Amino acid sequence: MPSPPLQVILFEPEIAANAGAIGRTCVAVGAALWLVRPLGFHLDDRMVRRAGLDYWEHLNLRIVDSLDEVVAAIGIDHLWWFSTKSTHLYTEAVFHAGDGLIFGPESRGLPVRRVTEARERALRIPMRPEARSLNLANAAAVGLYEAVRQVGFGNSPAVGDLPS
């Protein structure tokens, strides 16, 4: 299997349906999905299967015990930390092949220490003040598709290149 052009990392995800939907989005663009334990669900959870449909058999999935394992595998300079506490917009980032987009758990987001340490690589998705945050699956899709727009789909054909 070729190296995925992008990686999505879910740090301690809590909701099975979000993980399933994000896995489905990863398959759609050829990205890998990393799940960092502890998980708030079991991978055989009905909601994971329901949201991921039959896409999960095509998913490049890695499950690890810590963010340090992700950092060691991908490299700190290839990681983008998505947080409502960041000042940089996700559209200001310059993404490259192999980059990883990290999202925190639904109830609390990424650890403030990690976002602070990665200040120049911490990104936010703008929203009105009445909203605390986006749904995790929606935030991952927004960030991932911006990265795909910049990096391209890798070996996948562009929509215009598909046979009619």
| Gap between the Cα atoms of 58 and 70, Å rounded | 21
Query: In whole angstroms, how far apart are CA 88 and each of 10, 63, 154?
Result: 20, 29, 26
Q: In the numeric block, which tokens belong to residue 105?
A: 């758990």
Strand partners, 79: 100
Reference 123, options 148, 149, 104; nearest CA is 104
Helical pair 16-29 and 136-151, crossing angle rounded to 10 deg: 10
Domains, the chain: 6-161 (3.40.1280.10)
Q: In the numeric block, which tokens belong to residue 83?
A: 């947080």
pTM over 0.85: yes
| Gap between the Cα atoms of 128 and 160, Å rounded | 35
Residues 6+ apart with CB under 8 A from 1: 60
CB of 62 closer than 8 Å to CB of 32:
yes
Strand partners, 48: none
| Gap between the Cα atoms of 118 and 99, Å rounded | 14
Indicate whether 133 pLDDT > 80: yes
Indicate whether 152 pLDDT > 50: yes
Residue 158's pLDDT is 47
Residue 44's pLDDT is 76
Over residues 26-72, the pLDDT tens digits come to 999 999 999 999 999 888 766 666 666 677 788 999 999 999 999 99
Backbone φ and ψ for 9, nearest 5 degrees, come out as: -115, 125
| Gap between the Cα atoms of 156 and 67, Å rounded | 29
| Gap between the Cα atoms of 88 and 82, Å rounded | 10
Query: How sure is the predictor about 4, in pLDDT bands with cuts at 50, 70 and 90?
Result: confident
